[in-house]
Structure 1
Amino acid sequence: MDYSGQYATFVQPVKRIASISLFCMLTGVLLVFAVSPAAAQANPFDLTPRLSAKAKADTLLGTTPVTGNPFDIMPAQPNETSSERILPPPDAGFSSKPVVTIDSRYNRVVFITMVAGLLLLTILITLFRAQLGRAYRAFLNDNLLNQLQREREGGGGLPYYLFYGLYMVSAGFFVFLLTEYFKVPVTDSPLRSLLFCMFGVALFWLGKHLLLTFIRLVFPVEKEVRIYNMTLVVFNLILGVFLIIGNGLFAYGPQTMKMPLLYLLLTVIAGVYLFMFLRSLFSVGRFVSFHKFHFLLYICTVEIAPILILVKLLIET
């Protein structure tokens, strides 16, 4: 007996009814989730891009809205006690310009002067090395000094004048370092103080040369005064080269070594001028024997009086 036809007739309506029932159940569940607002708010993956109007109003009123979403980032609550903005005073703000102090200006002036002095010394030694060697030998020998005097009168004195200018720069810089070390600056500006010191040293020595020229024109000591003028140039030339190195050591040396170094520099300077005075005294020995009063008058007027005047001016300042 064939039951296949009866089985197919029974199973097909049952499958159709089950499919329709499953479709209706799924449609009903989706409608329930779509209509229910509580289910929409409980979705943890719903990220709000901005606050709603109600959340903004609550924030302005000082309350935090509760949405139930753990991924919502709430704005921080303003502090009522610090709601007023405290402005800094007008002079407490940051300025774009660097603050320039007296120490920084002093260090800048010292550095630039040292570099300029070394550069000038290098140029002069490169161009006039032979003349510098001859000046050093004339520093120790009277005959070579007389030879340099004749060379200067013949028109070859330019290298010695340039080295003499270097001495005025280095000596003025040394005086400037002393005024800053002992806290007695000439002016409030380090640059002007340096220029005043250099101008003072140059004025002192030029005034002395002019006075010697006047003595040469008045008294019959023309040859001796010319040699003495050249002696001043040669000795100051050697001292200027020495002071370039001494100034660098005194300016950038440790603070504990500045006073011993100052004593050493002053001793060398005093020794050079004492040696120059003895050399000059031996070269004019015949005038000392026959014109003691005039020689004593010259010593007091030209050699001692200017130094005492400078010392008095420094003490008063």
Structure 2
Amino acid sequence: MRIVKYLFIVSFYFFIGTSGAQNTANPFELRASGSETVANKNQPKPIAEQEIDHSNPFEIIHVPANYALRDTLLVKKPIPITSKKVKNQNFLFVSISLLLLFLTILVVMNRGLLANIYRAIFSDTYLKVVYRFQNSGHTLSYGLFYLFFFLNAGLFLTLLLKQFKFNYFASDITLFFVCVGGIALTYFIKHSVLRIIGLIFPVQKEISYYSFTIIAFNIFLGIALLPINSLISFSSDQVANLCLYLGVIFFLLLYCIRQLRGMFLAANYLTFQKFHFFIYLCTIEIAPILILTKIIYSNSGNSL
């Protein structure tokens, strides 16, 4: 009995020691602070644990926001790409259509004029024949073709200025008419100065022939710019940029050929009037191109 009593006492003290050891504080145990405990209490219960009133059809279930899941499943709408070229499709379509209609009417009125202009560009002798034929009563047809050149060159200059981000005018239609008016005014001044020179100096015949040479080359250039403008207006950006550069190169090529024709025409006067010819070349031929280039670069944010 005494042995049983001793075993009972030892078991009792052992039980008390183990329960006390479990209640003692663990120095490595991390306990939550009071603010975290309050935050945990304020967290919404899961949807399954919320008390939902199914009898109320307007009951709103508050679902906790899962930002990681939201960012993963959120599908962003694509931002529409709008460019100047897309916005101006109606204006370009109407312009190209009217120019095609205008050219069709001109060709019906005078079918042989385009063939004569094409041959005159590559033959100075044939150009003189066309010049004499033009003086016999076809001034109106050449004037209408010259107007076609102003419209087509104005459209090409508009597209070129838009490429250089020329935003001085809010409307592209206004920019188009300004370009057409600027080109028309430039050539009006040019022909007027040539006429005044022909009246002052005894070179009226040569000046008249050179003025007609300018008209013939510009008519050919205006017709050639129509397909270039069409490709620029309705093709991709890469093709449009390529056509812009090709149009500029084509204009410079025709300009150089025209200047060579003028120099051959004035070969008899270059021997005695070199200074006067140089003044004319710089003032009438080179200065307008340099001024126009300066205006384009200045308004596009660049500087020369």
Say whether the fold is shared (TM-score over 0.5): yes
* Equivalence for 1:300: 282
* 1-structure distance, mates of 2:86, 2:229: 19
* 1:239–1:269 CA contact under 8 A, matched in 2: yes
Q: CA deviation at 1:199?
A: 1.1
* 2-structure distance, mates of 1:124, 1:219: 36
1:196 paired with 2:140, answer: no
> Which stretch of the first structure deviates more once superposed, 300-309 or 252-261?
252-261
Q: CA deviation at 1:183?
A: 1.5
After TM superposition, the structure 1 = structure 2 runs for residues 251-266 of structure 1, keeping only pairs within 5 Å, are: 251-266=233-248
Q: CA deviation at 1:102?
A: 6.5
Q: CA deviation at 1:255?
A: 1.2
Q: CA deviation at 1:287?
A: 0.6
Unaligned stretches of 5+ residues in structure 1: 1-63, 65-75, 82-100
Structure 1 vs Structure 2: percent identity of aligned residues? 34
Unaligned stretches of 5+ residues in structure 2: 1-54, 62-82, 300-304
Distance 1:273 1:103, change over 3 A: closer
- 1:263-297: CA deviations, max 9, x gaps? 22211111111111111111110011111111111
After TM superposition, the structure 1 = structure 2 runs for residues 1-317 of structure 1, keeping only pairs within 5 Å, are: 77-78=57-58, 105-317=87-299
* 2-structure distance, mates of 1:186, 1:238: 30
Secondary structure of the structure 1 residue equivalent to 2:167: coil
Which amino acid counterpart does residue 188 of structure 1 have in structure 2? A
Q: CA deviation at 1:163?
A: 0.9
Matched residues, number:
228
> Which stretch of the first structure deviates more once superposed, 297-306 or 102-111?
102-111
* 2-structure distance, mates of 1:175, 1:207: 19
* 2-structure distance, mates of 1:250, 1:222: 41
* 2:85–2:233 CA contact under 8 A, matched in 1: no
* 2-structure distance, mates of 1:296, 1:259: 35
* 1:145–1:230 CA contact under 8 A, matched in 2: no
Which amino acid counterpart does residue 126 of structure 1 have in structure 2? V
Which amino acid counterpart does residue 147 of structure 1 have in structure 2? V
* 1-structure distance, mates of 2:85, 2:260: 42
Structure with more contact order per residue of length (Cα contacts < 8 Å, sep ≥ 6): 2
Bigger radius of gyration among the two: 1
- 1:1-45: CA deviations, max 9, x gaps? xxxxxxxxxxxxxxxxxxxxxxxxxxxxxxxxxxxxxxxxxxxxx
* 2:146–2:218 CA contact under 8 A, matched in 1: yes
Q: CA deviation at 1:144?
A: 2.2
Secondary structure of the structure 1 residue equivalent to 2:262: helix
State the superposition RMSD in angstroms.
2.3
When the two structures are superposed, what TM-score results if normalisation uses the length of structure 2? 0.69
Secondary structure of the structure 2 residue equivalent to 1:115: helix
Secondary structure of the structure 1 residue equivalent to 2:271: helix
